[in-house]
Structure 1
Amino acid sequence: MMTRDPMLSLPVIDMTPLFGDDDKARQQVARAIDTACRKVGFFYVVGHAIPSQCLTDLEAESRAFFALPLTEKMQVAMARGGAAWRGYFPVGNELTSGKPDNKEGLYFGSDLPNDHPRVRGGWPLHGANLWPSKPAGLRNAVETYMTATTRAGQALLEGISLSLGLDRYYFLNTYTANPTVLFRVFHYPAEMPESWRESWGAGAHCDYGLLTLLAQDRYGGLEVKTPNGWIQAPPIEGALVCNIGDMLERLTGGTYRSTLHRVMNRSGHDRLSFPLFLDPDFAAEIVPLPRLARDHIDAPRWDGEDPHIFSGRYGDYLLSKVAKVFPTLGADHLEHGTTVSPEHQNKDFQPQ
């Protein structure tokens, strides 16, 4: 079920049937997903069942947080989150393509108590979120949105399973029964010093997981690299932007490709965006789908890296990536945890 607005270059897919019992309708959605993933790796989704009030509340609470003085925002600085990799970072502290980004943000993830086995075991990227005291409604807004969007992402992965000719629950049974869920709230300021005005809000990059679901405010700024060059991916009311990451490219042997994208806030307004990354279990063994295993080596891609050569646990791969985004934090908190050690591995996890 794919529609195309003549003013847009990315497909719009109504994923409503993925929540229902009509097999024929689900297969239509799967075919639309297959076309989008093969052609560009980016598409919009509507019918995701995330209440509009959910995003309205999240935007309002997020704007209130970023309007606070820097000293108050730094009360939940990422340095206080330790190896859980949570909290606030100021403008210029995140490096997307090796250069400081013109944005500030908040990092969240699955909120785990200190007595959770993985937290007790010292697993990096596992732990409690850092919640600011103000605004008071931010925590509820974030948790409500994360729950609804994770549900939408799991349904979308069912559609991707079907698009690849797999059982509807392939990804759920194999990789995402206990997914790695990472959520970001990004603020791209309207006013910046002259030296920052030509800086990218987020430099050109590919995401490194399975699936990204992005909500944007009305100001836009996302750009996507297509076979025909860079295009705008403007906000559509009620729609999320979805894109596949390097791990889905890896699992599909390159049948589906992760796509380069970037952000520049040219709107003259403070811009917010809300990406949720739905990725494999931290302990999952990354094994390509057998019938899609790659039998050739492509030319090096834009960054000189090849996601297809990785083998091992998803957590090891993820740690190798996130330490490049915040080098100082990586050195301080993740150096000791660059592998999922045998005693920390989930003994019950078995790839299908």
Structure 2
Amino acid sequence: MNTMHRDSRLENFQAIPVIDIQGLRDDDPAARQAVARELGRAAREVGFFQIVGHGLSRKLREGLIEQAKAFFAQPLEAKMTRYIGQYPHHRGYVPQGEEAPDPTKRDLKEAFDLAFELPEDDPEVRAGTPLLGPNPWPDLDGFREPVERYYQATYQVGRALMRGFALALELPERHFLRHVNKPPSQLRLIHYPFDAHAEDVQGIGAHTDYECFTLLLPTAPGLEVMNGAGEWIEVPYRDDALVINIGDMLEIWTNGEFVATSHRVRKVKEERYAFPLFFACDYHTTVAPLPELVARHGGGPRHAPLKAGDHLYAQTIHTFRYLQQRLERGEIALPKGARDIGTLGQHGRHKEPDT
């Protein structure tokens, strides 16, 4: 693939594609391949797209939103009983100011983070593998079942997309799924409180996502994507769609053929919720440019290999204040060879405008 041609297309995109992925569940390989071609085009030319035909019912989505509203409506003291800094597996309540993807700016949100459920006696958890373990479910009647049901259903959509991405790259359909067994795939319940003075103020700063890709259920507009020219493009809000964006792992695996696109949340005035599921591969997976894609592109590998979980853990340490404090106290250590935050994505190549 010609790099200059790819970059030129990134510079020119002004819209976010919408893809019906129902064909990924079809028994006919031709139907799956047709969807895969659309996924590949969007992953190469934009790095962001919306999906419909995902099979997540309105009832399922509304059940998640209802429980998030119930959780965040609690007094701060009640939410802090599940504070993320109390637990060893990076799960729990994230108050405003705890997280800072851009360390120079304060994120205006609160969140509840959960991930792939593993019991305390799982071998990986007993070994102390970061980010793996059980979830500290809130003590709210009716919370766990609809939230867990949404997680499982959306995780299966992610697995279908992983098959589609493999087909788009002319790889065996299950090529990537070999590395998805106990992934630290995180679901975030994010709340942006109403703020009459928040117009044109960031909610989440410019960043790429650290995992393979993200499946986002939003409830209002506000998400913006940076194209290759450094321009911010708004993602139109659709209540029937999930927003998908390519993350760091797929950019590295595909030797840059798929693009981890920088994005941010802005103009958050109304109360708003967002629910990203960050689809990851297994912690110990070594992610390196695939030899067949290196040969296809020419010019050698564009990224150094890294361990997927170590990259995710390092970026998480860089982002969360409680982990930075643990690092300063010597309670944890950055994984060897950890990258600095913001080394992938367009915002690493373009200075963010002061707006």
Task: Settle same-fold status: TM greater than 0.5.
Answer: yes
Structure 1 residue matching 2:332: 3-state secondary structure: helix
Structure 2 residue matching 1:162: 3-state secondary structure: helix
Give the deviation of 1:297 after TM superposition. Answer: 8.8
**Which residue number in structure 2 is paired with residue 181 of structure 1?**
185
2:80 is the alignment partner of 1:74: yes
**Which residue number in structure 1 is paired with residue 92 of structure 2?**
87
Asked if 2 retains the 8 angstrom alpha-carbon contact of 1:96 and 1:203, the reply is yes
Structure 2 residue matching 1:276: 3-state secondary structure: strand
How big is the alpha-carbon RMSD for the aligned residues of Structure 1 and Structure 2? 2.1
Asked if 2 retains the 8 angstrom alpha-carbon contact of 1:190 and 1:265, the reply is no
2:99 is the alignment partner of 1:60: no
Give the deviation of 1:280 after TM superposition. Answer: 1.1
1:209 and 1:271, CA in 2 relative to 1: closer, same or farther beyond 3 A? same
Aligned counterparts, 1:108-119, within 5 A: 108-119=114-125
Structure 1 residue matching 2:131: 3-state secondary structure: coil
**Which residue number in structure 2 is paired with residue 289 of structure 1?**
290
**Which residue number in structure 2 is paired with residue 245 of structure 1?**
247
**Which residue number in structure 1 is paired with residue 350 of structure 2?**
none
2:21 is the alignment partner of 1:15: yes
1:96 to 84, 98, 101: 101
AA matched with 1:243: N
Give the deviation of 1:235 after TM superposition. Answer: 2.0
- Structure 1 Cα separation of the partners of residues 109 and 300 of structure 2: 36
**Which residue number in structure 1 is paired with residue 303 of structure 2?**
308
- Structure 2 Cα separation of the partners of residues 316 and 227 of structure 1: 28
Residues paired across the two proteins, number: 317
2:187 is the alignment partner of 1:160: no
- Structure 2 Cα separation of the partners of residues 279 and 33 of structure 1: 18
2:265 is the alignment partner of 1:263: yes
- Structure 2 Cα separation of the partners of residues 64 and 297 of structure 1: 51
Asked if 2 retains the 8 angstrom alpha-carbon contact of 1:214 and 1:276, the reply is yes
Give the deviation of 1:112 after TM superposition. Answer: 1.7
Structure 1 residue matching 2:209: 3-state secondary structure: coil
Asked if 2 retains the 8 angstrom alpha-carbon contact of 1:188 and 1:265, the reply is no
Structure 2 residue matching 1:200: 3-state secondary structure: coil
Give the deviation of 1:197 after TM superposition. Answer: 6.1
- Structure 2 Cα separation of the partners of residues 260 and 29 of structure 1: 24
AA matched with 1:244: I
2:322 is the alignment partner of 1:328: yes
Q: In terms of mean alpha carbon deviation, does 117-126 or 221-230 score higher?
A: 221-230
**Which residue number in structure 2 is paired with residue 318 of structure 1?**
312
Asked if 1 retains the 8 angstrom alpha-carbon contact of 2:185 and 2:279, the reply is yes
Structure 2 residue matching 1:275: 3-state secondary structure: strand
- Structure 2 Cα separation of the partners of residues 320 and 296 of structure 1: 29
Give the deviation of 1:40 after TM superposition. Answer: 0.6
- Structure 1 Cα separation of the partners of residues 225 and 52 of structure 2: 19
- Structure 2 Cα separation of the partners of residues 324 and 78 of structure 1: 15
Uncovered stretches (5+) of structure 2, i.e. residues with no partner: 1-13, 337-355
Asked if 1 retains the 8 angstrom alpha-carbon contact of 2:314 and 2:335, the reply is no
- Structure 2 Cα separation of the partners of residues 265 and 138 of structure 1: 30
Encode CA deviations 1:254-305: one digit per residue, 9 max, x unaligned.
1111101000243x4210000001111001111221122275599xxxxxxx
Give the deviation of 1:130 after TM superposition. Answer: 1.3
Structure 2 residue matching 1:180: 3-state secondary structure: coil
- Structure 1 Cα separation of the partners of residues 312 and 117 of structure 2: 18
Asked if 1 retains the 8 angstrom alpha-carbon contact of 2:200 and 2:267, the reply is no
1:41 to 41, 47, 62: 47
Percent of aligned positions with the same letter in both sequences? 39
2:143 is the alignment partner of 1:138: yes
